Amino acid sequence: MAIQNSQSSAAGSASNGVAHPASPFDIEAVPALQIPERVLMGAGPSASYPEALRAMSANTLGHLDPAFVDIMNNVGAMLRSVFRTRNRLTGAVSGTGTAGMEAALCNLIEPDDHVLVCVAGYFSDRMQQMVERMGASMTVLERPWGTVFPPEEIEAALAKMSRPKLVAIVHAETSTGALQPLQEIIQIAHRHGALVVADAVTSLAGCPLLVDEWELDVCFSGTQKCIGAPPGLSPITFNERAMDVIRNRKKRVQSWYLDMSLVETYWGDSGAGGRAYHHTAPSNALFGLHEALRLTLLEGLENRWARHELHSRALMAGLGALRLEPFAQEGHRLWQLNAVRVPQGVDDLEVRSQLLRKYHIEISGGLGPIKGQVWRIGTMGYSASHTNVRLLLSALEDILSDLGYAVEKGSATDAAEAIYRAHESEQGRSASAASPNVADAALSGAVQEGVGETIGSESVAQGVAHKD
Ligand SMILES: Cc1ncc(COP(=O)(O)O)c(C=O)c1O
C-alpha cells in the first residue's frame, strides 16, 4: 500500500482507482523516534539488559546462515538450562507469552477433551478463554483473585471428571502476585492421568521452577519479565509425555503456525539432524534472548532467585512502612511481582501518573475486578535492583505525602535499608556481591552511568540511570 506524503495529490485519488484518504499524510511532520527514559517496575516488561539491546542492534542474519544456526543451538541449550530440563523440544515461540500459551494448549487439546482450568486471576482467565475456543469439555475451578489453590480442591475437581486430559494453571499470576503450589498440583494431576500445562511467563528465572524434577509436562514463558530481554518471544518446553500426546492426535493441530510437530523442524533438534524453514526466524530478537539467557546463567539461577527474593523483601518492608497492605495470600507471595492495596482515599491513577511524569517510574495498576484497587510492582530480572527499590520508595514517600496521605519521610527507605543491612550481615559480605545486578554501588556514589560491574567476563551496567 502506498503512503501519500505531503507532495501527494490533495484530491486523494490514486492511479489504481483505489481511493486514499482525502487529507495527505505529511511524513515530514513525523519526528525521529525518541524513546523516553523509564524505570520499569510494573508487571512487565521489565528493563532489558543493555547487552541484550546491543545484540539486537547487530546486522540481521538469515535463518539458515550457519552462524545463526549456532546461535539457535545455544539459545536452545541455554533455555533447557533455565527451564532445568533435558526436554528435546525446547525453544522459543515467535510471539509473546500469549503465543506460547496458545501453542501449549492448542497442541495438546482436541475437541471434547476434558480439561481442568484453574482460574484465580487475569491470565488464568485467558487460559480458560483459549481452552473454550478449542472446543474442550472444560471444568473451571475458581478461587478468589490473590489466593492459591489448596491441592485438595484440585484433587476433588479431578476426581469428579472422567478421563481428565489436562490441567491448565498459571504458576506466577502477575495480575495478583500469587504463586501457585505447582509441584503438588503436578503430582495430583499425574495421579489422575492428566498432563499439566503451566504458564511460567512471570516465574521463569525469578523463582524456583524445576521442569524435569517436578515432571512438568509443558511450560511456556516470556522474555520480558525475569529473563531481561525485550518482549517478543515465548520460551517453551514439552516433555516426552506431551510429545507422545501430540504425535497421537486424532486430528492435526488447527493452527499451522503453532503446530509443534512443524515448529520442531525449525528448532532443528528433531533427530533428523537438520534445521528446516518453517517461518523466518526473528533473528535479532533471538540475539537479544541469547545475551539475556547467557547473563542469567552467568549469574546462576539460585543467585538470581535469591536476588529476586531480597529485593522483594526490601520493597515490601518499605511499602509496609507506608501502611500499604499486601494483596496476595500470605505465604504464597511472588518475589518478582509485589501487589499491594491502594490505600483508602488515595487516587490510584494520580499516583501512577506522577510516578511516570516526575520520576520516569512505571508501576502497574489492577486488572479486571481489582482495577483501581491494587498497585502491582515488579522487581523482575534486570529491574530487580537496590537502586530501583530505593528510588521507587522515596518517590512514593514524596507523592503520597504531597497528596495528603500521612507519611513519615524516610520511613519506607529506612525499612528497606534495614532489610539490605540484615542481608549483608547474614551473608557476611556485601549485598552487591550477593546480587550481581544490584546497583548498590550507585548508592555509595561509586558508579556513574555506563560504568559496569563484572559478572564473569561480562560488564553489566548498574541499574537504571535517573537524571532528575
Ligand atoms: C502470567 C502471564 N501469562 C501470560 C501473559 C501474556 O504474555 P504477553 O503479554 O507477553 O503475551 C502475561 C503477560 O503479562 C503474564 O503475566
Greater confidence, 437 or 372? 372
Would you tell me how many other CB atoms lie within 10 Å of the CB of residue 459? Answer: 14
pLDDT tens for 429-461 read 554 554 555 443 333 333 222 223 333 333 333
Ligand 1 atom, smallest distance to 44 CA: 14
Establish whether residue 462 lines the binding site of ligand 1, counting it when its CB lies within 6 angstroms of any ligand atom. no
Task: Name the pLDDT band for 268 (thresholds 50, 70, 90).
Answer: low
- Number of alpha carbons in the 13 Å side-chain half-sphere of residue 424: 13
Cα distance between residue 100 and residue 138, in whole Å: 20
Q: By the 8 A CB rule, do 209 and 89 touch?
A: no
Q: By the 8 A CB rule, do 143 and 389 touch?
A: no
pLDDT tens for 197-253 read 999 999 999 999 999 999 999 999 999 999 999 999 999 999 999 999 999 999 999
Instruction: Give the CA distances from residue 70 to residues 67, 93, 263, 268, in Å, rounded to whole numbers and listed in that order.
Output: 5, 18, 18, 11
Distance 97 CA to ligand 1 centre (A): 5
Would you tell me how many other CB atoms lie within 10 Å of the CB of residue 366? Answer: 22
Distance 95 CA to ligand 1 centre (A): 11
Greater confidence, 344 or 269? 344
Task: Name the pLDDT band for 18 (thresholds 50, 70, 90).
Answer: low
Establish whether residue 221 lines the binding site of ligand 1, counting it when its CB lies within 6 angstroms of any ligand atom. no
pLDDT tens for 131-163 read 999 999 999 999 999 999 999 999 999 999 999
Our mutation pick for probing the ligand 1 site, out of 93, 98, 145, counting the most ligand atoms within 8 A of Cβ, is 98
Q: List the grid coordinates of 320.
A: 509496609
Q: List the grid coordinates of 136.
A: 474442550
Most confident of 8-17, 24-33, 173-182: 173-182
Distance 24 CA to ligand 1 centre (A): 38
Q: Give the chain's domains with CATH numbers.
A: 50-296 (3.40.640.10), 300-461 (3.90.1150.10)
Q: What is the pLDDT of residue 180?
A: 98
Greater confidence, 294 or 3? 294
